[in-house]
Structure 1
Amino acid sequence: MTDAAVLSIRNASKTFGQRRALDDVSLEVHKGEIIALIGPSGSGKSTLLRSISALQTIDAGPGVITAFGGPVQKDGKIDSNVRKTRTRIGMIFQQFNLVGRLSLFSNVALGSLGRIGFWQAALGLWPAETKQAVMAALHRFGISDYASQRANTLSGGQQQRGAIARALVQKAKIILADEPVASLDPVSARRVMEILRELNETDGLTVIVTLHQVDYALRYCKRVVALKAGKVVYDGPPSDLKRDRLIDIYGPEFEDVFWEGAPT
């Protein structure tokens, strides 16, 4: 990990009506980190990821988001040159965000859109480099046998691995994963989390993943950031997230659903 931050969020706020989804959030992310974003529903986790990826604007004011030393947005406006930066940020969604009628191969190949022409992609005229990258990614994640199958006929776990493969073909250096295992069975969920950890440890990718499953955050991530009512209330190693701290983040009802074998 280098000293330079690949991602910087400074004083970012986001308001929806009367609700403050983000409240003066500041966060530095360094190259090669794997970070879990946790917190109760409505705490601002997804809003933060969408703001980092420029899928939505933050409020006008002092808030600034930069990635790879370049601006993403500030003062409530997306930077006009953000497209180049976004090609290096892969976004993975809870509902996979694949085009159901297209084959798995075509969905993954769409990760190369930032480097090839739109019409070339629309006609399926993929360059040899893209074809090789797609098949290598599908093989790596154990889904190459389904390359020609329509995405909407695949299981949730297969689709999510396809979404991660697309980010790999995109040549993303930062992966933002928004509840990537929320819709999956436990076996598929563990496989997806293992893939994200592998991409971090083997490929050196920076990974930020939002999770409702706190045990996954503690098991797979080396840094945990907790949000509550739009504010950062914890930022540190998973080893320091003890029962009392988690109950403070989630509320007293968390005790009722705390998993067996949790830290004390």
Structure 2
Amino acid sequence: MTDAAVLSVRNASKSFGSRRALDSVSINVRKGEMIALIGPSGSGKSTLLRSISGLQTIDPGEGRIEAFGESVQADGKISSKVREARIRIGFIFQQFNLVGRLTLFSNVALGSLGRIPFARGLFGAWPKETQAAVMAALARVGVAEYAAQRANTLSGGQQQRGAIARALVQKAKIILADEPVASLDPVSARKVMDILRDLNRVDGLTVVVTLHQVDYALRYCDRVVALKAGKIVYDGGADGLDKTRLIDIYGPEFEDVFWEGAPK
């Protein structure tokens, strides 16, 4: 792991039966970067993100993943120190991953469980510090007025902003976001991406986000990593992804859906 890297993936492979979802993938993520992971469906984006967080084990062998200088996993086994790394990594899921029957406030407060006694969280006896942090996080993402509402009564965009607030209460230094706008309408999607970019630029959080919307990747992220059939086929600046490269990544059909105003 390099001195500047907060995440390091080395020769990581992952197989599901005969299909290799990741094929000797290596990538370093530096502190303060905002990186888009793009590629066709099934290219390995989500598998890579889940492997980085330790939610998915990689294949046995020489592959290893580190976060903040601590091992997350190696040789197909999750490290005994993974909890120390995970507490600083917030994971944003496509389907929000909120508890529908709980209020938005309680869902966001769950982000503090790694730092307070479990029993206090179980009974909702949140310390004053946590309560203040929850309301500040909800205000930061623009949904403080919905704090008392049950999560399942909120829109998708409001729930996703709540999920980001939970990562803030967790005091995450890295946010891994797996297709965070895939199920949102265009307006809500832009709001979520604006929040992620603001947290990156203003707060200095490191953000790695998987996206199907290539235009969002180019608009919001300075660095883009493209996967195809489990391999990294591009890793560089967003300005280096021209139409020819994108067609090579996604196939000739990509030109048929190429959006107006995209790179030529």
TM-score per shorter chain, which class? over 0.9
Q: Which amino acid aligns with 2:138?
A: L
Give 1:3 deviation, angstroms: 5.1
Distance 1:123 1:84 in 2: 25
Identity of aligned residues (%): 79
Q: TM-score, normalised by structure 2?
A: 0.99
1:178 aligns with 2:178: yes
Greater mean alpha carbon deviation, residues 137-146 or residues 243-252: 137-146
Corresponding residue for 2:227?
227
Corresponding residue for 2:87?
87
Corresponding residue for 2:213?
213
Greater mean alpha carbon deviation, residues 6-15 or residues 80-89: 80-89
SS of aligned partner of 2:177: strand
1:73-94: CA deviation from partner (whole Å, max 9, x where unpaired): 0000000121111000000000
Give 1:140 deviation, angstroms: 1.3
**Alignment of structure 1 residues 90-129 onto 2, 5 Å:** 90-129=90-129
1:41-60: CA deviation from partner (whole Å, max 9, x where unpaired): 00000000000000010000
Q: Which amino acid aligns with 2:256?
A: D
Corresponding residue for 1:41?
41
Distance 2:34 2:86 in 1: 19
Distance 2:47 2:141 in 1: 29
1:22-74: CA deviation from partner (whole Å, max 9, x where unpaired): 00000000000000000000000000000000001000000000000000000
Q: Which amino acid aligns with 2:248?
A: D
Distance 1:141 1:89 in 2: 18
Q: Which runs of 4+ in 1 moved over 2 A?
A: none
RMSD between aligned residues: 0.8
SS of aligned partner of 1:65: strand
1:188 aligns with 2:181: no
Corresponding residue for 1:143?
143
Distance 1:190 1:213 in 2: 11
Distance 1:162 1:196 in 2: 12
Corresponding residue for 2:14?
14
Q: Which amino acid aligns with 1:150?
A: R
SS of aligned partner of 1:71: strand
SS of aligned partner of 2:252: coil
Distance 1:117 1:153 in 2: 29
Q: Which amino acid aligns with 1:190?
A: R
Distance 1:41 1:140 in 2: 32
Distance 1:241 1:88 in 2: 31
Consecutive unaligned residues of structure 2, counting only runs of 5 or more, are: none
